[in-house]
Amino acid sequence: MKQVIEVVKAREIFDSRGNPTVEADVVLSDGTCGRAEVPSGKSTGENEAVELRDGGQRLGGKGVSKAVNNVNTEINEALHGRSPFDQSQIDQVMIDLDGTPNKARLGANAILAVSMATTRAAASANQEPLYRYLGGVDLELPQTFHNVINGGEHADNGIDLQEFMLTPIKRTSFRDGLEKIVTTYHQLAKLIEAAGYSTSLGDEGGFAPDLDNSEAALKLLHEAIVAAGYQPGIDIGIAFDAAASSFAQPDGQYQFEGQSRSADQMAAYYEGLLDDFPEIVSIEDPFGENDWENFTKFTQANGQRVQIVTDDNICTNPVLIRKAIEMGMANSLLIKPNQIGTVTETLEAIRLARKNNYTTMMSHRSGETGDPYIADLAVATNSGQIKSGAPARSERVEKYNQFLRIEEELGATARLAHFPNQVSLD
């Protein structure tokens, strides 16, 4: 007899910023249990599914007891007796039960916790690792992007670009690439300290030195790569997330590093960075979430030169993704399951991207948990790329450790993702 869902229950736990979040258990009729924890973002797009918070005085209004209660009552009742192996049906039941276009009634944090936990329970019942249950045999270890210098909303410093990342290019295995990044990260710490800056960490484990501008951050990364014994752009590349919505103004201008700039001036600025730092391989959200026209214009001018990722504009929402594809406003999509609220819709977003020759980058959130779910999801879906923070703080490193376990389990069948212009030595 096939197992069915016996009980769905949730509890309030805490994320890496000390804020409440939802953890859910899905228990099957034979006692098998799947558990999942939901992260929370700080730099959020206005079109993200609603993260239900309690309001009021307790925990600064950020409590999630309402979302937890929705799991323990309505969602538990609706899913009782259903098969955990039909994920699309499970997710649709919760979407219909919520009845809003953005999961505002039950909370996307409640729905996603149950959606993820259901896949874990089903995988355990099948005696399969999660990545195998979700992905079958077509599996691939992604290229990692590590946020090693934090700015913008992730740090209290003078840098307006939000994330500066390192990515391993020439590597013989996942472990080899990760070791290159770890080595460079420690060299970066020495350079920052030698320059007289603090080596305190931002939300995602990256350093947050109070540099004068973004170019200074890029120069530090270049110097750290060299100091680690690697070649910029050959062994290790650089990427950044501008998160331009954080400095976009209502009048269409951008208040960036002490100056008011037009969209054309921002485009020229980014192009100058590409000229000065040819090791830059990816740029995320160079324009605001409502500035679709200039985003598209920039992609048309530079899309053959660099990967251009959209996040805030599309929020992992298939409807918005279709619009972005029609406009040609990027060539890569950021994938954050908690932006849309179910595993099924996340998978649909990735399929849409692949069907239209867009690359995808799986992503953590700044308020993370120790749950490595997105590591398994990235391998299962061939997402190709993932960003999970610096190789520091356990909630970030645990994702990378999970990839190491998966690589070991796959053995000789392990495949590495690469950009088309990158060197594969595997």
Q: Which residues are annotated as a binding site for Mg(2+)?
A: 241, 284, 311
Task: Give the pair of three-digit tokens for residue 387.
Answer: 């960003």
Looking at the DSSP bridge assignments, the partners of residue 367 are 40
H/E run at residue 407 = helix 394-410
CA distance 50 to 159: 29
CA-closest candidate to residue 225, choices 216, 234, 213, 215: 234
Q: What is the number of other CB atoms lying within 10 angstroms of the CB of residue 326?
A: 9
How big is the CA angle at 424 (ends 183 and 270), to the nearest 5 degrees?
70
Task: Give the pair of three-digit tokens for residue 339.
Answer: 């932006």
CA-closest candidate to residue 10, choices 29, 31, 32, 36: 36
CA distance 314 to 291: 12
H/E run at residue 260 = strand 259-261
The gap between the terminal CA atoms of the chain, to the nearest Å, is: 43
Range list of H helices, 195-302 = 214-227, 263-276, 292-302
Please state the three-class secondary structure of 167-222 as a single string. Answer: EECCECCHHHHHHHHHHHHHHHHHHHHHCCCCCCECCCCCECCCCCCHHHHHHHHH
Catalytic residue set? 204, 336
Place of tokens 């990158």: 422
Q: Which residues contact 383 (CB under 8 A, 6 or more apart)?
A: 142, 335, 350, 360, 361, 362, 377, 417
Q: Which residues contact 1 (CB under 8 A, 6 or more apart)?
A: none
